[in-house]
Amino acid sequence: MRSYRLWSVSLMLLGISVLPIHPLPGLAAELSEPHDHDLHLRRLMTMIPDISEDSPYEELRTPQFPPILMVDYRAAEEAGNISTPSSWGALKAMSEPDFAAWSSAMSRFRGDPIGFDQLTALALLARSLPELAPELAAESQGLPALLGIDWFDVEHALVLGGDKLSLRRPMRNDEWRPGDLVVLSLDANHNASGPSSRLPEYGLQRSMLYGFEVWSRLQDGERRQQFVIGQDIAGARWIDPFGIANGWATRIAKAQNSILGSPYLGVLELLLASVTGEIRSLADSTDFRVVFDSLNANALKPHLIIQIGFVNRHVTEPERLAILTIGPYSSEKHRQSFVKKILDPGGGWGHLPPYRLIAVADTQTEEEEIAIIALVYDELKDASLAAELVADRIQRFEFVLSRVPWFENRNVNITGQVYNAANEQRAVALIALSHSPQSDDSGATKRGALFQDLFWHISAGAASFLIVN
């Protein structure tokens, strides 16, 4: 293996595996075949180097990596019973019912690599104010034109780190930091014209790396104001997962019908080494395999896995959680009161065993949305305890500042299940929260709200129901 230089940012991903299943009372214990969409998300992992806790490459192991989010845009459309627009023009020309259905389907995504929430907002504005259409088209299609693709060619995507997955986002939109690692997986039938000859206008220079064409600029992690693309008439910048419009360092390559990008050369080197099979990928990680396989249990009956996030940070320090939640200028007395509350809110909080990995999945059956928390353990007894304990804790979880129970006004059903991957020496505690999404006053249906709340609280370390005390 080449001696790859380690990037200066914490990185990593999460887990999967196969399992005989140990259900909690009343739950079935069978596995179903992986859905096509599940297999697509697994394929994304083959492009990411194995940076898990058990990676054979000591220099790649990272004790705590930034949050990772994997999304399946086609699965969201299938769940919303709506087809993919063929282009920006087709999206603008959709009938009102179809546009509302597509917008609702895309509302599941927050912090996804592309930013389909921004694309939807631009399309809505263009439909309402046709005179702005040229400027809005430039904002939505500027980067795809440079890369020789269309945003609707992107079927699946992955992002690790960056400001989109942070609760502490910059005040200025033009300062947003791109993901430390971004993968856009394209439709196999897309007609790629190849990168535009205009890329050098944005400081990007062509080179070859391990047989792949790479476009790059600036030093690792650098940002220069001279490369920032000015705001358009709508007051915003290009939709851009790679940070080109915001002036950040960029390294982009195309491999296996995917576009890979990072602000760090070392990360791109590792991505290409994973793609070629020269080094192990996350698909070889036991923890990551166990999570995906456990989601295919008949007891949960997920029809689609639409997105999944991974976090390997343990919520282990109540004092740090207090500062994160109620602020660094809170009094010691206030923080102590907070710690007491989260360690034993009303009695019986219990002791949660330390877990190896956390995954949060946004899934759907024909009738319900199901947000699933997966905790990976070495021991079956620890996973069994965790499944019961977290299912109980989460019902009493409060937004501390407002003292509003998280479950208030939510018609949510909670079940717990334990999956034992005996051959892998792993067990997974699954806590499933299911509900039927309701329409608001305008008739729009907000999708994926449970997943979004869970993933962002967990990735920020603010999910006290997962505290290991």
- Determine, yes or no, domain membership for 137: yes
Within this chain, do residues 278 and 303 fall inside the same structural domain, yes or no?
A: no
Within this chain, do residues 254 and 320 fall inside the same structural domain, yes or no?
A: no
Within this chain, do residues 126 and 258 fall inside the same structural domain, yes or no?
A: yes
Q: Which DSSP state fits 4?
A: P
The pLDDT value given to residue 176:
65
- Determine, yes or no, domain membership for 255: yes
Out of 251, 283, 315, pick the residue that ends a domain.
Answer: 283
- Determine, yes or no, domain membership for 257: yes
The pLDDT value given to residue 147:
84
284 CB neighbour count, 10 Å cutoff: 18
Quick one: which of 259, 235, 230 has its CA closest to 245? 230
Within this chain, do residues 242 and 366 fall inside the same structural domain, yes or no?
A: no
Residue 141 and residue 129: Cα distance in Å, rounded? Answer: 18
- Determine, yes or no, domain membership for 21: no
Q: How many residues does the chain have?
A: 469
The pLDDT value given to residue 145:
81
Paired residues of 426 in beta bridges:
421
Paired residues of 184 in beta bridges:
157, 259
Residue 245 and residue 380: Cα distance in Å, rounded? Answer: 48
Structural domain boundaries, residue 343: 288-466
Within this chain, do residues 348 and 437 fall inside the same structural domain, yes or no?
A: yes
Residues in CB range of 197: below 8 A, 6 or more apart: none
Within this chain, do residues 324 and 270 fall inside the same structural domain, yes or no?
A: no
Within this chain, do residues 273 and 325 fall inside the same structural domain, yes or no?
A: no
Euclidean distance between the first and final Cα of the chain, in Å?
40
Within this chain, do residues 301 and 363 fall inside the same structural domain, yes or no?
A: yes
Within this chain, do residues 168 and 204 fall inside the same structural domain, yes or no?
A: yes
Out of 248, 283, 318, pick the residue that ends a domain.
Answer: 283
Within this chain, do residues 216 and 365 fall inside the same structural domain, yes or no?
A: no
Q: HEC string of 252-318?
A: EEEECCEEEEECCHHHHHHHHHHHCCCCCEHHHCHHHHHHHHHCCECCCCCCEEEEEEEECCCECCH
Sign of CA dihedral 21, 26, 32, 38: negative
> Encoding tokens for residue 231?
């705001």
> Encoding tokens for residue 47?
């492009």
- Determine, yes or no, domain membership for 17: no
Pairing of strands 212-217, 205-209: antiparallel
Q: Specify the DSSP element, H or E, that contains 37.
A: helix 36-45
CB 303 within 8 A of CB 363: yes
- Determine, yes or no, domain membership for 336: yes
Pairing of strands 258-262, 250-255: antiparallel
Q: Give the distance between the most distant pair of CA atoms in the chain.
A: 65
Out of 283, 301, 324, pick the residue that ends a domain.
Answer: 283
Within this chain, do residues 300 and 413 fall inside the same structural domain, yes or no?
A: yes
> Encoding tokens for residue 206?
């062509």
The pLDDT value given to residue 9:
30
Enter the pTM of the model: 0.85
Residues in CB range of 293: below 8 A, 6 or more apart: 16, 17, 18, 19, 31, 34, 419, 421
Within this chain, do residues 198 and 74 fall inside the same structural domain, yes or no?
A: yes
SS3 430: strand
Query: What single string gives the DSSP state of each residue in 157-214?
Result: EEEESSGGG-SS--SSGGGPPPPSEEEEEEPTT-----S-TTGGGGT-EEEEETTEEE
Quick one: which of 168, 267, 149, 173 has its CA closest to 216? 267
- Determine, yes or no, domain membership for 9: no
Residue 249 and residue 327: Cα distance in Å, rounded? Answer: 32
Centroid of chain to Cα 304: 16
CB 23 within 8 A of CB 29: yes
Residue 396 and residue 408: Cα distance in Å, rounded? Answer: 10
Residue 363 and residue 306: Cα distance in Å, rounded? Answer: 6
Sign of CA dihedral 54, 55, 59, 61: negative
Q: Which DSSP state fits 148?
A: T
Paired residues of 261 in beta bridges:
182, 252
The pLDDT value given to residue 7:
35
Number of structural domains (the chain) is 2
- Determine, yes or no, domain membership for 36: no
The pLDDT value given to residue 450:
87
The pLDDT value given to residue 1:
42
Each of the 469 residues of the chain gets a pLDDT tens digit; together they read 444 333 333 232 222 222 333 444 333 334 445 556 577 888 888 888 888 888 888 777 766 778 899 999 999 999 888 999 988 888 888 999 999 899 889 988 888 888 887 888 888 888 888 877 777 776 677 788 888 888 889 999 999 887 666 545 444 455 567 778 899 998 877 665 667 778 888 899 999 998 899 999 999 989 898 888 766 555 556 778 888 888 899 999 988 889 999 999 999 999 999 988 899 999 999 999 999 989 886 566 666 899 999 988 766 566 666 766 666 677 888 777 777 766 665 556 778 899 999 999 999 887 788 999 999 999 999 999 999 999 988 887 765 544 556 666 668 888 899 999 888 899 999 999 988 876 665 556 678 888 988 898 888 777 878 888 6
